[in-house]
Every structure is written in structure tokens, then in C-alpha cells.
Amino acid sequence: MFLNENRIVEKICELPTTLGDISESIFGGTSTRNSLLHRLAVPEGSDSDSLYLCEGLCKPVFLEPELIYPYVTGIFPEKFAFNSSPYRFMLPYEFSDKGSRKEYRVIPPEELKIRFPMAYGRILEFKNQFDHDNSLLDSADYYSVRGRKLLERLGTPKIIATEGYRVQAAYDASGNYVFEQGCGIVLKEPEKYPYVTAVLNSQIARLFPSVCESEMLYSGSATPAAMKRFPIVFPEDRLTEDLITSISGYLMFLNRQKNANYAVGWLDELTGFYEQISNLLVLDVYFGDGIDQKLLNALEDNIHPYAGDMESENSGSLLSVLYYIKQRISDTSNFKKYVFDTEFPGILSFL
């Protein structure tokens, strides 16, 4: 059965459940009155956790690591996971837990001077050098950050979706990433993160502009209003959801390896293989009857949750396991007949 793009969009728009329905919060990133005050870079080869390079200053500065958070921008959000980013973001705020949210307050200059003298000195230096102002610091003017919901959710696991017309999603397990462009998505059911991350990275998400056109910015950036409208379908059977969840775990690991010293060609091929399986399963959830039983049996026999810790596991041995699983699936099923066309209208021709 072949479905043209307009009919696909119509079918998806008829779905009753949206990303907003299953999310506790969808919010935009942070912004500052002066980004030079907050954006930092980690010097290449540095092994110090307090040495940074500040935008706008042509010299290194030392800051307390307790106030520094990883910052993602540009190419650093990969699909499913984050590459290591050389950027950091200074937040002169104090956070405390209150249920699932964070309470936060800006640290007053007089308190900052005592508790975090390096950060205090850096802000004062910025003020003197760039504003030619030698007066005392004013927290509201010189280190305030716009992005209330992001601050409330700091430390809360979330999905960070970026790229607008080509949505891609990365899972932030620690919840400590700061971002400006994109949307943070906190789900009501944390166990659904792998599946929703897979949906947002699937061919379904290529329809995002058509489905959410009225809420999209002219620049193509995704907005919280648009993300809330995107329809979500969950698998009717537990097997499919478990398979997608397991493959999401594989893809989070594989995309982290892209920053390591591996042969990029075969690593990209291995990652592409699991992305294609994830795509097939997600499309089958949305439209049904797309995958024959032989392939489903091969997936059920070979794809399982990884019992170890992918962060600490020897990456070489785990890559070998994932390559072996790929060979098993390819050899014991008719997987090769499921080929995606480059243009979206043809990707569902197998249904």
C-alpha cells in the first residue's frame, strides 16, 4: 500500500494523543542579557576542572566548577545522545530540590563574593572591561538568566529536541545540560523516554513542519507550542515497545562512540542499521502491518536490554556484540527488503 504525503499527514493529525498530553513540561531554552558573561569554553587538552576560556576575554579564567554546567549548541546534540561539548555555561544560582522540581535563587553579589570569589571576580572584570563601569555588582543587571522553566528542571532527566524542520532528539539522563535553541521535554512517565526519543528521531518526525505548521517559527525552529501538538502513538504490544527501548539504548551508546577514535565508516554503518530498525518499528506502531513475522522473530530473538552499564563497559567488546547482533538479524530475516527512499513520500511504500 502506498500513502502519499498529504494522506499521511491527515492520518497523523487524526491521532488523539499528543506529546503535550504525555509530558509534564515542554519548555524553551535559556537566554541571557549578555551571552558573553555566561558562555565558556574548555581549553583543549586541559585537565583542570576550574580553568575556562571566556567569550570576549582573550585570556583564561578560573571559576568554581560548582557553578558550571555543560552547554549544548550546534552539532553537539546528536541523535539519541550528546557528543562531548567544549562549551560550558555559568549559572550563579543556588538550587534545592522540591519534589520533582528545583527551587532556585540568584546568589546575591555580596554572598557570591564570599562563597565563590573566582566567579565574583570574573563577573566584576566583565563589567569593568566591557561596560566601563566600576560600580558594585547588581545581580539583576549583570548575571540574570532568562529561562525560568529550564532552571526549574535543572537536574531533571529530559529530552532535548533541536533542529526545527529536521527534529532530532537527545536524551539528557543527568538533566544538567543547558541549551538555548530547542525544547526540553519532561515526560510524566520516565520509562517512556527511550520510546519518545526514538519517535522524535524517526521518519515520522520529518512530518513535524506539516503537522505543526501553525506553531512553527519562520526560522524553522521548534517551539514548545509546536512540540506539544505532535501526535504520539504507543505500541499496543509490550514486545514492540521493549524492542524500541532496547534499540534506543544501543543508539545512545553508538552515537556517543562517534566522538571516540573508531573507524567512522563502519561505525556509521552500524548506527544506521539500528536506526533503520527503530524507524521500521516506529512506523509500524503508527500505521500497522508493516513488518512481517520473520523479521519480528529475528528481532525478538536477538535484541534485548543490555544487562551491564553502557557507560562503564569496555566499548570495544560492546561494539563487537552489537555488530554480531546486526549480522544475526541480517542473516536470519529478510531485513534487506526494507529500504527507505530518500524522499519522504516513498518511505511507507512497504506498508
Q: How many domains does the chain have?
A: 2
Whether 181 contacts 35, CB under 8 Å: no
Give the tens place of pLDDT for each residue, 203-248.
Answer: 888 777 676 665 554 445 678 888 888 899 999 889 999 999 999 9
Are 145 and 242 part of one and the same domain? no
Give the tens place of pLDDT for each residue, 173-197.
Answer: 989 999 988 899 999 999 999 999 9
Domain membership flag for residue 326: yes
Host H or E run for residue 186: strand 183-187
Are 131 and 240 part of one and the same domain? no
Domain membership flag for residue 68: yes
Q: How far apart are CA 135 and CA 127, in angstroms?
A: 9
What is the separation, in whole angstroms, between the first and last Cα of the chain? 5
Host H or E run for residue 69: strand 68-72
* Cβ-Cβ contacts under 8 Å for 96 (sequence gap 6 or more): 102, 103, 104
Secondary structure of residue 171 in the 3-state scheme: strand
Q: Residue 44 is part of which domain span?
A: 32-72+84-150
Provide the pLDDT for residue 4.
60
Are 346 and 242 part of one and the same domain? yes
Domain membership flag for residue 7: no
Residue 23 φ then ψ, to 5°: -105, 145
Are 242 and 345 part of one and the same domain? yes
Domain termination residue (choose one: 101, 120, 150): 150
Whether 170 contacts 193, CB under 8 Å: no
Domain termination residue (choose one: 123, 150, 177): 150
* Cβ-Cβ contacts under 8 Å for 143 (sequence gap 6 or more): 37, 38, 90, 92, 106, 123, 137
Whether 280 contacts 290, CB under 8 Å: yes
Domain membership flag for residue 173: no
Provide the pLDDT for residue 345.
42
Cα-based distances in Å from 81 to 85, 171, 240, 277, 325: 12, 6, 22, 18, 21
Domain termination residue (choose one: 131, 150, 169): 150
- Alpha helices (runs of H) in the chain, residue ranges in sequence order: 5-13, 19-22, 109-115, 117-131, 139-142, 148-152, 193-200, 208-211, 224-229, 238-257, 264-287, 293-302, 315-332
Cell of 80: 539519541
Q: Per-residue pLDDT tens, the chain, 351 aa: give them.
A: 445 667 777 777 788 899 999 999 999 988 887 777 888 988 887 777 889 988 767 678 899 999 999 998 765 557 898 877 788 999 999 988 776 667 888 899 999 999 999 999 988 888 888 777 788 888 777 788 888 899 999 989 999 998 655 688 999 998 999 998 889 999 999 999 999 999 999 888 877 767 666 555 444 567 888 888 889 999 988 999 999 999 999 999 888 887 665 556 788 889 989 999 998 899 889 887 667 788 888 999 999 887 555 565 557 788 888 999 999 998 887 776 665 544 444 444 444
Provide the pLDDT for residue 348.
46
Provide the pLDDT for residue 233.
92
Provide the pLDDT for residue 193.
96
Cell of 140: 539583576
Domain membership flag for residue 328: yes
Domain membership flag for residue 221: no
Domain membership flag for residue 189: no
Beta bridge partners of 183: 28, 161
Domain membership flag for residue 139: yes
Residue 342 φ then ψ, to 5°: -75, -30
